[in-house]
Structure 1
């Protein structure tokens, strides 16, 4: 099939005449692939009856030829369907207030099965047993096969059409070889340094995971690998055709892989092991949980050093808040699911000696660009640290980056809102839900419909692992997920040794494994790069290195009671990156999922830590998936534990990384509750948080308050639930949840300073109007309450410092903020998602501040902090600290609050907040209004059932 080239013209200035010549040359090279007829499968009944909608910005088409890329750079044109969902997604900001069910398709796609005859844009038949029909509106591939192989082959072929370059990028990211493949740009270095250390597999490791699924998962495992092979065959078919026809992605030319004139060069064939590599990136980024125990131990030690062991532990636990009774819950009917809680008397805990912890170096032998030619571990460039959030001498320490299995700050931005049919206008459940996978161009996920023997679904799949729909809808049901983040990763403390019996040091590469002095396995990746058209980074190279043990990958070294040790990170899904394919296969099988109970059983076969949500015409339901290990009695999962048999996961087999896992019934689950909300919050009572921050105030409160009000009023519709989501997506959590208490403290006495009183009134007016970050009029790029937003952005970090730092002291305050950042506003460039990412207010000290302020005000607090910090508990002193920092914040100009970056000038508030799709290829996209909202989103209401 030829590329779907540009029809959507954008403003742009003409470049040199040579570009026009290249455009003409490229156009002459385009070829049309042959079209052959294919058998038509039996029609499928769509029980949603036009009431299922979805959206995936910027657009479905993620492939661009060299002509497309040069046209985009020179003239601002976009390939067809590469940006046609962007304005609809952005338009909900202004359009949600007047939203009706009839207007939903102004902002979402019609997600009905099939394509009406008058809406067919193209039909491709890569084999005679499958057709790929694309619609005119969004260019979504509707894959229909008469055989199972043909269906999956078509899915792979369509994936090649829409995401060939992206899939190639991600198989190299997973292998830690991105810079060698795509160039040494700092962003590329950051990506491979972020992901490879959490899944540093050899090719044999990858192949072993393929064989494990095929041989250990029964008939479904065999079918899954057959489907995966057909999918890979389809990708390779498109790869061959596009290369021969010269309509392959232009990035292959720009990175020097293929010569634009001679067509000499190769796109390497895809293999089943590539799917495992891609799955390791996807699962680790969005489906991990736990970890971060070393940093947690450091903050505990700091608390104990300040207050003594008993009081320090009490103070630390009050910040750790494993089971905060005030935390917003997804299952709120009182049901409890105890897991990973604090033991009555911990055993096997291995806290480091103070000052002994060093992070394990990742980068070695850096030369050339961004390097020093040193032959020893060197620090990563400051620009790379800033761009990727890398700390500790170029190392990616446990807990410092999203996807690292961290309990500290992990990316998890998806949300879900579901209402039972008892409270809807129709009597059928209504759901608005979707994953937030970050804003990229092209998007990490792709939309598709797959219809074939044993498969019937429409929705999204991550590019490269799209044999099945991962989130979407079936014939009479829909499902989605949010990152759960429960504790499936532990830190073990391995005692170091030397094989000759000499005294070990912290640098020793052998460890005691059940009494034997075993060698660590050294895993390496050496990457080198040279300048290309796409990346002018100077020639350079470096080596990444990790050490692997029977208890996972080494992340830190220290001493415990004077003995050298290594801390290792072990997650249950390690070596099982794609086992979850069985659960997804079930979710796509209409003969398996017939109701909420069968959906929950299907979801239980997904090993990653996700919250799964379901809706059909009768029931809304929830299930929390994940390979939750059964820990030894008395082990504290929040802290490092000794690597000894008595403290291992029960049933642990290091060769296969398998263990005993908690059964289905012990995972939080529910069916038929009045409503469900999730925004990566706490799932249920007793289900201990894997890290800091699931406290009295969480961004899920923004959803919970709105949805509970809708349920109380009754008559909920798709539009009203969408409005609730969109309203929360524009709201500043601090302004809605914390500002009332801050103002109550400040107004406990009259504000006598006229200028300061004006500032207080500005903030109160903003709060009363909804505390939103929204334009005064569409396209104005200026917020209605711009000054109040600026003041809050400047004030929050100052007030948190003033509230807590004097009482905690510099060391403990620093240690606790390393566990949990104080703020994540939309304009923040720090945190797990970085600037222009949309997601905001997931991580911050909102819950700590809320409890502390209520304690100062003398209000009741469940699960209080061990001490009161603001003003040392004195209301007058607390008020003085807040007023002092507020006055400082009000004086900071916009340019000081919103510094310039590559996309915005200093002081441009709207731009600093704006969402900018990060280019993973040659096509860029315009900035859009900030929304705290899923990337892919469904709005569904099924009126009928099979």
Structure 2
């Protein structure tokens, strides 16, 4: 029998043997009445692909053989996708074709299932999206139900993520390269011991009544998760991935699904904080680039170029707060002291992976990522299904810190109804199942509906209350500093760069090491041999070591000091209050609660009367002479003010110093600058940033005296989310420079005409017809995608020199197109495409400033004399035209090189959103949109 036939036969036999893998019938239970809903049917939301992220073994087999999917696993994907074509014709009557009702409660004719996992909680599933509506007669019952329902929907995802956060995913899911990389990345960011995880729990529990309540909520939540695990294992309706990864035998049911514990929630909180709630770092690369510019141009000219590129406080950058106030934070002083600039060529990344064996010894490794082990799988069906994870359980690039999400909020003074309107949500990437989960929670002291990260859903993190809604975008202000810690020899001998001792306040202390021993066996059907390695994090009191090098010839370790390190759980009180109708009764209440969250988020609020904004984060108070964008010499005089190394606490900026506002005419946020004076932690918050796309559309309509409706604000968001930022904001400058003289070359003129036609049509990346999988203006878009890396390199590298140019590309990539990003080399794509979020990071403002300087314009915060063409505008124009001609010759297969999901040269597919599998259920790709993953559309007509 051919191998494929044997595999299919094995699958069918195993699925038949496991045919009992179905959930038990729902038990009847009384249904409590939800509280009054002040949104009156005007709250909507969407979260693709679907609520259900669990599939039994039989359902996985059916998906592999027949392409079927479990109910509610993809029923929000189509409506999300359809907005890309339907937004221009959107009306109030058709909004539910693209979003789901986010009202409290479930009408009787929409009840799919009603059951009580224990006596003090009832869970009602709606038949439209399968969302759990949890009603507890006790507070503990409410959070128990939240845990039970989340495990029903996302158990395997939660399990995989708690292991990834610990740096131990490979023993669970196999030694694929993507698994090792993710494992290493999260371990490097938060290398905690179990004792330190428990200490975070204890600290919150000891913080007062709210802290004790949070601990009780978390405990009952874990009880709910574990109750589901026990019942599902016994009843054999647990996620089929446990069979596919060899943890449970599909025939005998022998195996274990490990129960959750409180420290797992700390791990998940740390993971979320590292991925979405931090900001800063990268100071070593900043220093290298800055020194290269000084070497190339001299101190004065080199510093001006660095400051223009760095865009710490770009005068042309838009800000979320635009009412004339300034909120200074993390700015470099005029005369900085205490910097520790590395000696040229001395910096090397800190080794993380040790003692490799087997496949780990021969496979390529990235300096900041890890590997894992699987138990021996059992069962014939498992052999076929294990092939699902040959490429890893996690997608390439997951775990890389990225700013995402957007928000549009318009005050009642500028809306048709007189009530505020908001369209907002987080961009958490596209996964199957989705990292977020939807829920409604109603119980004593809890009344909310919306989205939470699976495994942290004892509170709703982003959503709505009875008469208010809230959301967040990643802010990424600077809460991370790099310290250069002098190394030492405890015996007083010569100091080597690999010394694991360092000087701290006059003592030679040993570095603390946190280790993970990881090993894996091959998946059945996978050619990857077994392997193992040891992960080691070297920690100082200034944080984990990231690099080693020398400063003025002295060996040092460069460390990452993060103000939220050892404090990820502190934010739990703020999230608890977001869910408490007694705590949130006004916009100012909301701001005060948001201040209790130490993650770096921009928070937005809307009720029937007011809007509000607050930028949260553990904003440390630095010494006034310290430049936070450069490595800092470790010394008491340079430490954070009030810093206690024993528990990593320090003085934090007061409420009033955080960017905040109530009832501004409008707010937009797309990870742009928070407010004047608030320094960007990285170089993308500059003169051209994707928030410009939102700001222009909202501002111009308000200035025209045209009030907004919910529909019009959705249109503004969707139109911006389909527009190529480079086309709208930079292409006009490029064309103006080219148009300073006639273009005699007919071929070049034809290419320019293509770009002009695309720009005149809005510069959007949209299909010419729904479902065609071909862009309108496809040739112009491809030309521009090929042109951008060539023109950036041609514009800057000759003047900067190869060394400084490469150093600056390591500070910030030159491009972030929907298909990935290119760093100045045709066809060189690095990073994760297919994730929707695009055009945040790139040299967009830098190109615009330099081209405008070449045009002879005065450019605030610019480079001075144009770098392009070494200051000669005619030479710069020639550079652009030469790059355009070269771009026209770049093969499609080089611009869009193809990957596991797309053929080379397939432009639409290269941009398309592909849901990365964390499990066995795949999703169909959808057309590119640059919008939040979870999104709310909100307009409250009434208030308590």
TM-score (norm 1): 0.94
**Are 1:266 and 2:256 an aligned pair?**
yes
| CA distance in 2: counterparts of 1:51 and 1:802, whole angstroms | 51
* 1:254–1:532 contact (8 Å) kept in structure 2: no
> Could you tell me which of 277, 282, 292 is aligned with 2:282?
292
Q: How does 1:131-210 map to 2 (within 5 A)?
A: 131-210=122-201
> Could you tell me which of 903, 915, 918 is aligned with 1:917?
915
The residue aligned with 1:278 is: 268
* 1:496–1:566 contact (8 Å) kept in structure 2: yes
Q: Secondary structure at the residue paired with 1:497?
A: coil
The residue aligned with 1:122 is: 113
* 1:166–1:442 contact (8 Å) kept in structure 2: yes
* 2:51–2:437 contact (8 Å) kept in structure 1: yes
* 2:397–2:832 contact (8 Å) kept in structure 1: no
The residue aligned with 1:356 is: 346
**Deviation of residue 382 (structure 1)?**
13
Post-superposition CA distance 1:734-789 (Å, at most 9, x none) = 11111111111111111111111111000000000000111000111001100000
| CA distance in 2: counterparts of 1:98 and 1:120, whole angstroms | 31
* 1:350–1:641 contact (8 Å) kept in structure 2: yes
Q: Secondary structure at the residue paired with 1:686?
A: coil
Q: Secondary structure at the residue paired with 1:580?
A: helix
* 1:315–1:867 contact (8 Å) kept in structure 2: no
| CA distance in 2: counterparts of 1:225 and 1:741, whole angstroms | 56
The residue aligned with 1:464 is: 455
* 1:820–1:843 contact (8 Å) kept in structure 2: yes
| CA distance in 2: counterparts of 1:444 and 1:682, whole angstroms | 27
The residue aligned with 1:941 is: 939
Q: Secondary structure at the residue paired with 2:409?
A: strand
**Deviation of residue 865 (structure 1)?**
1.4
The farther-off stretch of 858-867 and 419-428 is: 858-867
The residue aligned with 1:6 is: none
**Deviation of residue 366 (structure 1)?**
1.9
The residue aligned with 1:24 is: 16
| CA distance in 2: counterparts of 1:651 and 1:110, whole angstroms | 48
The residue aligned with 2:210 is: 220
**Are 1:246 and 2:229 an aligned pair?**
no
* 2:495–2:555 contact (8 Å) kept in structure 1: yes
CA 880–845 in structure 1, closer or farther in 2 if over 3 Å, else same: same
The residue aligned with 1:816 is: 808
**Deviation of residue 866 (structure 1)?**
3.7
The residue aligned with 2:843 is: 845
| CA distance in 2: counterparts of 1:307 and 1:354, whole angstroms | 16
| CA distance in 2: counterparts of 1:528 and 1:602, whole angstroms | 44
**Are 1:783 and 2:781 an aligned pair?**
no
Structure 1: state its 5+ residue gaps. Answer: 1-11, 386-399, 405-409
> Could you tell me which of 726, 729, 740 is aligned with 1:737?
729
Q: How does 1:635-784 map to 2 (within 5 A)?
A: 635-713=626-704, 714-784=706-776
The residue aligned with 1:7 is: none
Structure 2: state its 5+ residue gaps. Answer: 372-395, 823-828
* 2:182–2:399 contact (8 Å) kept in structure 1: no
| CA distance in 1: counterparts of 2:176 and 2:523, whole angstroms | 11
Post-superposition CA distance 1:841-883 (Å, at most 9, x none) = 0110000011111111122321111431111222211111110
| CA distance in 1: counterparts of 2:626 and 2:821, whole angstroms | 37
**Deviation of residue 715 (structure 1)?**
2.2
The residue aligned with 2:819 is: 827
**Deviation of residue 539 (structure 1)?**
1.1
CA 306–854 in structure 1, closer or farther in 2 if over 3 Å, else same: same
| CA distance in 2: counterparts of 1:128 and 1:379, whole angstroms | 51
| CA distance in 2: counterparts of 1:205 and 1:534, whole angstroms | 39
Post-superposition CA distance 1:63-96 (Å, at most 9, x none) = 1111111111111000000000000100101111
| CA distance in 1: counterparts of 2:159 and 2:456, whole angstroms | 12
CA 759–13 in structure 1, closer or farther in 2 if over 3 Å, else same: farther
**Deviation of residue 13 (structure 1)?**
13
| CA distance in 1: counterparts of 2:359 and 2:654, whole angstroms | 51
* 1:288–1:403 contact (8 Å) kept in structure 2: no
**Deviation of residue 893 (structure 1)?**
2.6
The residue aligned with 1:568 is: 559
The residue aligned with 1:72 is: 63
How many residues in Structure 1 have an aligned counterpart in Structure 2? 910
* 1:124–1:131 contact (8 Å) kept in structure 2: yes
**Deviation of residue 583 (structure 1)?**
0.4
| CA distance in 2: counterparts of 1:833 and 1:620, whole angstroms | 37
The residue aligned with 2:903 is: 905
Q: Secondary structure at the residue paired with 1:579?
A: helix
* 1:254–1:534 contact (8 Å) kept in structure 2: no
> Could you tell me which of 833, 855, 858 is aligned with 1:857?
855
The residue aligned with 1:395 is: none
| CA distance in 1: counterparts of 2:397 and 2:935, whole angstroms | 25
**Deviation of residue 542 (structure 1)?**
1.6
**Deviation of residue 29 (structure 1)?**
4.0
| CA distance in 2: counterparts of 1:31 and 1:402, whole angstroms | 32
Q: Secondary structure at the residue paired with 1:274?
A: helix
The residue aligned with 2:331 is: 341
TM-score (norm 2): 0.94
The residue aligned with 2:871 is: 873
The residue aligned with 2:601 is: 610
CA 924–675 in structure 1, closer or farther in 2 if over 3 Å, else same: same
**Deviation of residue 458 (structure 1)?**
0.3
| CA distance in 2: counterparts of 1:533 and 1:334, whole angstroms | 63
The farther-off stretch of 832-841 and 123-132 is: 832-841
CA RMSD of aligned residues (A): 1.9
The farther-off stretch of 513-522 and 889-898 is: 889-898
**Deviation of residue 535 (structure 1)?**
6.0
The residue aligned with 2:888 is: 890
The residue aligned with 2:295 is: 305
| CA distance in 1: counterparts of 2:26 and 2:422, whole angstroms | 42
Q: How does 1:502-651 map to 2 (within 5 A)?
A: 502-533=493-524, 537-651=528-642
> Could you tell me which of 202, 223, 227 is aligned with 1:237?
227
